[in-house]
Amino acid sequence: MPADFTDPDALAQAVIDVVGRRIVLGLPLGLGKANHVANALFARAMADPSIHLHIFSALTLEPPRPKSEMEARFVGPVLDRLLGGYPALAYAAVQRADALPANIQVDEFFFQAGTRLNVASAQRSYISANYTHASRYLLDRGVNVVAQLVAKRGDRFSLSGNSDITLDLLTARQAGQAAFLLVGQVNDELPFMPGDGDLAIEVFSHVLDGPAVQFPLFAPPKEPVTDAHYAIGFHAAGLIPDGGTLQMGIGSISDAVAQGLIVRHRQPAAFRETLERLAPGQPVRHAEPFDTGLYACTEMFVDCLLDLYRAGVLKRQVDGAVLHGGFFLGPKAFYTALRDMPDAERARFQMKAISFTNELYGDEEAKRLARRGGRFINTAMMATLLGAVISDGLEDGRVVSGVGGQYNFVAQAFALADARSIITLDAVRGAGPSTTSNILWSYGHGTIPRHLRDVVVTEYGVADLRGKTDRDVIAALLAVADSRFQPGLLKAALEAGKIEAGYQIDAAHRDNTPERLAAALRPAKDAGLAPLFPFGTDFDALEQSMLPALAALKAAQPSPARLARLLWSGLTASSKDAGPALARLALDHPGDLKARLYAALFKGAWRATHRPGIEP
């Protein structure tokens, strides 16, 4: 039986008494970290240089940091509402300040996107690893403590949303390949997930539980779905066969894919018409409703997969489950829905080891049968015109996020007879004069090499690259690039001799512009098929009404002329209509000149987005 504690400091001392003063602490990726346990051990090591603490983890969750004062005025209250009470991981703040002492080391194989880009110590201690290899690297380091957040039911504990690496570590421990303490911290908000992560109490050595160590789960706010992401989502939804297998991650592109699949299932004619408007001349591959339905085998169980289940799209069962996943993270409503689900229904969502979801090894024949028609959807930051994909880092060596399981699923797509890897990609980033193409001739870093090029989807269509010559790959990617950058990309390909002199991009693809995209999506949006938040939001009604104005203000920032127009419009506008929004931003009674300028800019953006015919 485990030793029970209500005080994390007492538990930390008990752990040190067992393992000694060299602690190799494994913390699960994302949601599953036992924050109070980790903080107590970190505090001991900070106070006592003779204690060596080596933390191995991934996806250390921290609240988003507003990038401007206006963003802070809007997002601050939302974050307080959603993440207030979430105990910060103490090591993260010290690492971010590059102030970790010599006796403490923090290694991560995946970063919360962008949060460690300018943290030198984090960049130095990053481990480039496939998700499936992380447990091996942790074993190599001599892990002796794993601290995991768990759900409790009677004398059973559930690994809940993080069965991913812990189950693989426990398999190694059972085989005599590791000896570590499994420390559980009970959280009453975690849903008790059935399956392989439903463990007997004897598996744990120490358990922390009690009112003082309860806390709200990390629940990031959902992002609105932009026109570009809806276009990407609908294109991708048209590539998924009925009866197939689905994998995808978190974010607004996945929400758009899910919404596209639901529209396809409920209104196939409207779905087909939308695709034909978005990409004239491109064939529609799949627009049929889902009679057999999809099965999800995905490293991440995201909330929109639950919406696909509710809509009758996710319904093909494998061993009684419509979904096998490795970890989950999502909004509060997602956690509540899983918690409140009847046991029999929750049993259709099985959490597994990451070695199960991300690999074919181990019971390979059954996995191959189950994962028929696989469509493995992952996002990227950039792609080269020759088909290499950049998802995790920059060419100067700095890491934005990590490889995670992206390579695992690309490899599966080639290993399975009828599977495809789908890389989704915004054709451009930035706004105004700072707009740049995400499709490049070349780049000095890669995540997925060109020899594994398969399907790339941008807002402008689908580029099928598998098995194609370099020339045909270039032509296909030019067709889905933004037209503002097509001439430069074509010039680079011509200069390299990779495409024939005189080649011209088809006329149907020379109008790849945001304006054409908006017009193509307008009927779907007017029909309610592409709402800003297809699966709900934590923003209230007033906050939702403010989003278009804030987006217009953000889009105008690179252009002094556009900012000047907004400022003049705001200075001459009444505050009447925008009054509640200004009060929400604490700009209804601006004091200093800076606040008055912010108020005027917001009024100008509000006027532009709420009164048709006024240019933002």
pLDDT of residue 488: 97
pLDDT of residue 235: 98
CB 240 within 8 A of CB 246: yes
Burial of 165 (0-12, 13-18, 19+ CB in 10 A): buried
Same domain, 416 and 469: yes
Gap between the Cα atoms of 295 and 373, Å rounded: 10
Nearest to 386 by CA among 278, 271, 475, 281: 475
Same domain, 235 and 203: no
pLDDT of residue 411: 97
Q: How far is CA 171 from CA 17, 129, 147, 324, 355, in A?
A: 25, 20, 16, 18, 11
Same domain, 161 and 305: no
Same domain, 169 and 278: no
CB 537 within 8 A of CB 544: yes
pLDDT of residue 616: 46
> Which amino acid would we find at residue 602?
F
Same domain, 238 and 260: yes
Same domain, 498 and 596: no
**87 lies in some domain:** yes
Gap between the Cα atoms of 66 and 73, Å rounded: 9
Burial of 467 (0-12, 13-18, 19+ CB in 10 A): exposed
Gap between the Cα atoms of 337 and 314, Å rounded: 16
Boundary (domain end) residue, out of 187, 213, 239: 213
Tokens read off for 132: 């499936």
Gap between the Cα atoms of 439 and 487, Å rounded: 12
**536 lies in some domain:** no
Same domain, 11 and 125: yes
**449 lies in some domain:** yes
Same domain, 308 and 375: yes
**Using CA atoms in the order 429, 221, 158, 23, what is the torsion angle rounded to 10 degrees?**
70
Same domain, 142 and 247: no
**219 lies in some domain:** no
Give me the average pLDDT of each 10-residue run along the chain (616 residues). Answer: 96 98 97 98 98 97 87 91 93 95 97 93 96 96 98 96 96 96 98 95 97 96 94 98 97 97 98 95 91 98 98 98 97 97 97 97 95 98 98 96 96 97 96 91 97 98 97 98 98 97 94 96 97 94 91 84 86 81 91 89 88 51
pLDDT of residue 577: 75
Question: What are the respective helix, strand and coil percentages of the chain, to the nearest 5?
Answer: 40, 15, 40
pLDDT of residue 269: 97
Gap between the Cα atoms of 443 and 152, Å rounded: 48
Gap between the Cα atoms of 390 and 74, Å rounded: 32
Non-local CB neighbours of 479 within 8 Å, separated by 6+ positions: 460, 461, 463, 505, 506, 509
Boundary (domain end) residue, out of 184, 213, 242: 213
Tokens read off for 93: 């703040």
- pTM of full prediction above 0.75: yes
Same domain, 34 and 80: yes
Gap between the Cα atoms of 481 and 492, Å rounded: 14
Gap between the Cα atoms of 195 and 187, Å rounded: 19
Gap between the Cα atoms of 608 and 616, Å rounded: 5
Residues paired with residue 104 on neighbouring β-strands, in sequence order: 53
**528 lies in some domain:** no
Boundary (domain end) residue, out of 213, 246, 261: 213
**521 lies in some domain:** no
SS3 (DSSP) at 567 = helix
Q: Look up the CATH number of the domain holding residue 338.
A: 3.40.1080.20
Pairing label, strands 295-301, 374-379? unpaired
**320 lies in some domain:** yes
Same domain, 64 and 173: yes
**498 lies in some domain:** yes
597: domain range? 541-610
Rounded to the nearest 5°, which phi and psi values hold at 60? -70, 115
Q: How far is CA 230 from CA 336, 455, 481, in A?
A: 27, 18, 16
Tokens read off for 248: 């995808």
> Which amino acid would we find at residue 408?
N
Backbone torsion region of residue 96, taken as left when φ is above 0, otherwise alpha when ψ lies between -120 and 50, otherwise beta? alpha
Same domain, 431 and 546: no
Gap between the Cα atoms of 444 and 496, Å rounded: 17
Three state DSSP letters for 373-397 = CEEEEEECCEEECCCCEECCECCCC
The structural domain count of the chain equals 3
